[in-house]
Structures are given as structure tokens and as C-alpha cells.
Amino acid sequence: MSALLSDSDLNDFISPGMACVKPAGPTEAKDNNNKLEVGIESNVPVKVSITLQDCLACAGCITSSEEILLSKQSHTVFLKKWNELKQEGSRSLVVSISPQCRLSMASYYSMNLGEFDHCFRHILKDKFNAKYVVGTQIGRSISIAQMNETIQSKSTEKVGPMICSVCPGFVLYAEKTKPELVPHMLDIKSPQQITGNLLKQIDPTCYHLSIMPCFDKKLEASRDECLKEVDCVITPKEFVTMLNELSIDFSSYLSGPDLIKELTPTSWSPELHWLSNEGSSSGGYAYQYILDLQSKNVRSHIVTVDGKNSDVVEYRLISEVGQVIASAGQVYGFRNIQNMVRKLSQGSASKKRGIKVKRRGKPTGKDTTSSIAVADPTKTDFIEVMACPSGCINGGGLLNDGENANRRKLLAQDLSQEYAKIPIVKNIQDVADTYSSKTSDLRYNLQVLESPPSDFVTIGNTW
């Protein structure tokens, strides 16, 4: 183990900071008349419960300002707004949902994906009078295509690997505590925001509800440059809770006509936005970058190199003569992110001092130019980074409560296998070319915080 890390650092979970925004003290003692008794404390210890709904996957406790933003992103807020929309009658409800959420809820309701999609569309149409109900694949195709173009345009600058910015947990971490990472980060928006952009172009007055696998997506929608694209973000946990509160029986909507065409914007292909693409169950950004380059290099092939654990993977594009044309990596979970940041920092320091860093190991397969047998994403052109272990298929907002770490990992593996069965889009660039002209403002305004805000509390020395 590196001397820079201790065993206490190797943890994908974060404990509350000293000034946690969720009160964690015992409840006040009361007498039989429900009056507070001053100076009297209960002898019975009270168990404190702080969940992923309270703490996000970023670099520390959320700030008080972020807590206010999160309070505007919940199913109770949505229901209140929905009732206002019904009374106004001037704004339409549109809903988007990611494939990870669809799979999680399909598993929860013991349905296949087709059955879930059928019920989901019917409930949102019959109970909430939704105008459009869409998947996020068109937005993802645009996001992937924009990233591929940006990476290739910067490939000659030799600034080190470019880093994906679609995971808001990682973006918050970098902006708050690792400013040296921000220049490496692509500023292309995520499928959530691009999908919202597309929908708002079609109906500028619509109310856009987005269902996403992670609570950090709420903060992403609250960024200044994203406010007009998504009005409210909820997770599958919240969606199921909402249906239970409304006494809606999900499985009772299995019958009835297919509403896929009726709930799709007229300018969209009805089936396209419900599809997926090749690559990881977090979006496949790393693999899609290599796949795009393969289409431009005849007789090249892709080699997958495993890392020291299942959350680290490297893809290499190998020429006919065995030369590495390009490479991309996947890094999931803050345990691996810490190692990635440490290596990138060491690499930058070594370059400044003129030190050559050797890659150890032996070459494998036809990869004759590489000198390692284990994946090292920090030496690649592009890194797909996700804060959650196992990626978005294990997002904190998915329906995996009550499971220990091993069970959650197995559930994520099961969902990943189901994810691989979703029909895929092969012509990502064609989809992007068709729909990207209907979007505007596709980039984040990534910022470096020279010092954390006054209400931001870091956690020990982990970050």
C-alpha cells in the first residue's frame, strides 16, 4: 500500500462533517403533557440515521446553500407544482428517465423492461397528464459525440488525459477540492441536461421532471447554466415513495394501448430515445471514444485491459501492426478516484522536474508498444469517471436500500447484465447530427473554487 494512503482512506462512503446539515442530536425529552422539560435528558440512546439522501457522493458535506437547492428537488415539491400546473392549465408536464432508473424500478416491481416502460408511460399519462415521456438516449448520443469531437481536437495539446464531466458528484469534488483537475475536465453537459435542452426547445414553457439514479443530479440541475433545462429531479426511491403516497398500484397499468408514439415529440423517432449504446452501464463514454476512432482506422481492433479491481478498465485501439492508436479508461468509486488523482498529480510534478515515469509490467496480446499488463487510465487520452462504485448502475437513488455492500454489488451486476440487453444505437454520430442542431448551450461553466465556501466542511484529511 502506498505511504500516501492509509487504510482509513480506502472507503467509498463518507461520514458526516463536523457541521453536518442534518441535525444528528438526540430528541428533546418531553413529559406526558408533551411539554419540554428543561435540563432533563433521556437516558435512552437515540440512533442517528444519515442516509445517501442526506449525504451526497461529493468531496464532503454539502453546503448550506446546496441544501437549499436540494430542498427544491423532491417528489413533494413536484407534487405541489403538479397541482399548480393542473390549476393553471398553461404549462405541460414532460418527463425524462435514464435507463438505469428504468432497470432498477423494473427489478423492484418484478417486471421486464418492456412491461415497466408500458406501465410507466400509462401512469404518467393517466395520473399526471404528461405531454411527453422520453428516455435519455438522444441526449446521450449528442453528449458522446460532442465529447469525442472535443477530445480529438485537443489530442495534440498533450495536456494529459481529458476527464468526463457527466458525474456531478465528481464535478463537485473537483471544483471544491481539486482545482488542478478542472483544466482536464470536458465541459460537455450530461444526457440529463441535453435532454432537457431538447425538450425546452420543443416546448419552452413545459415543466421538465427528470428521474435519475443519483441525488447529485439534483445539484447538477441547479447549476446556473442548467436552470432552464430541468425543473425538478427525483430518484427511483422518491418516485416509488410518491406512488405509494398516492396509492397507485403500478402493476395495474400493464394493460392498455402502447403510448410510446403519443408521448414522443413529433420531431423525434419514437423508439430511438428508449435505446442505449455500447459501453459501460454508466453511459459508455470511454468505449464510445475508442469505437469512434476505430471507425476511422481500418483494420484496427479494440483490446480491453482490466485494472486491479472491476471498477478500473482501459480500452486500447490497436493498429494492424500492433501499435496503440488511442486509449481510454474507466474509473469508478472514490477509492479509485483518489488513486487516479494521486497519479495525475505525481505525473504533473514529474513533468515539471523533467523526470521520466516508467510503466511497469509486460505487454499483452498485440499491444506491443505498451509496457504494462494492468490498466492505467491516467496514461490514456480520456477517462470516464463516476463517483459511485460500479458506476451509475449502483447510484445512491436506485432501489437498493437495506442491502449490504456485497448484496448491492451483486444487484449492480444483475442490473448491468440486464442493461446489456437493451437494444443499442450504432450510429451515435448520425443521431447527434440529426438532433444537435435543435440544442443550444451544451457546455458547463466549470469553475475552480480557490478556497472552499465558508459553509463548506471537509472531512478529515481524506480529501
Which amino acid is located at 209 in the chain?
L
Q: Which set of grid coordinates corresponds to residue 335?
A: 477509492
CA 68 to mean position of chain CA atoms: 21
pLDDT at 355: 37
Cβ-proximal residues to 458 (8 Å cutoff; 6+ apart), any chain: 17, 59, 60, 177, 452
Q: Read off the DSSP letter of residue 378.
A: G
In a domain, 374, yes or no: no
pLDDT at 71: 67
Range of 93's domain?
64-157+189-277+399-437
Nearest-Å Rg of the Cα atoms of the chain is 23
In a domain, 357, yes or no: no
Q: Read off the DSSP letter of residue 392.
A: G
pLDDT at 21: 41
Q: Single out the residue of 66, 197, 96 nearest to residue 142, CA to CA.
A: 197
In a domain, 412, yes or no: yes
CB under 8 Å, gap of 24 or more: what pairs does 358-366 form? 364/303, 364/305, 365/303, 365/318, 366/301, 366/303, 366/318, 366/322
Residue pointed to by grid coordinates 418484478? 110
* Cα–Cα distance for residue pair 40/62, rounded to 1 Å: 32
* Cα–Cα distance for residue pair 111/122, rounded to 1 Å: 15
Please, is 54 exposed, middle or buried when counting C-beta atoms within 10 Å of its C-beta (0-12, 13-18, 19+)? middle
Decide if 122 contacts 416 (C-beta within 8 A): no
In a domain, 301, yes or no: no
State which residues of the chain have pLDDT below 70: 1-71, 156, 158, 347-372, 401-403, 449-463
Q: Which set of grid coordinates corresponds to residue 88?
A: 393553471
Q: Read off the DSSP letter of residue 227.
A: T
> Angle, nearest 10°, between helix axes 137-154 and 191-202?
120
Distances (CA, A) of 47 to 11, 27, 199, 334: 22, 10, 44, 27
In a domain, 27, yes or no: no
pLDDT at 438: 86
335 in the Ramachandran plot: left (φ > 0), alpha (ψ -120 to 50) or beta?
A: alpha
* Cα–Cα distance for residue pair 25/46, rounded to 1 Å: 8
Q: Rounded to 5 degrees, what angle do the CA atoms 100, 227, 68 make?
A: 85
pLDDT at 348: 56
pTM > 0.85 = no
In a domain, 424, yes or no: yes
Distances (CA, A) of 36 to 23, 39, 45, 48: 18, 9, 18, 21
pLDDT at 7: 42
Counted domains in the chain: 1
pLDDT at 275: 98
CATH number at residue 199: 3.40.50
Q: Read off the DSSP letter of residue 19.
A: T
Q: Single out the residue of 211, 173, 207 nearest to residue 192, CA to CA.
A: 211
In a domain, 246, yes or no: yes
pLDDT at 112: 97
In a domain, 284, yes or no: no
Longest dimension (CA), the chain: 84
Reported as a single tens digit per residue, the pLDDT across 86-109 is: 888 889 999 999 999 999 999 999
Quick one: how many helices (H) and strands (E) in the chain?
13, 9
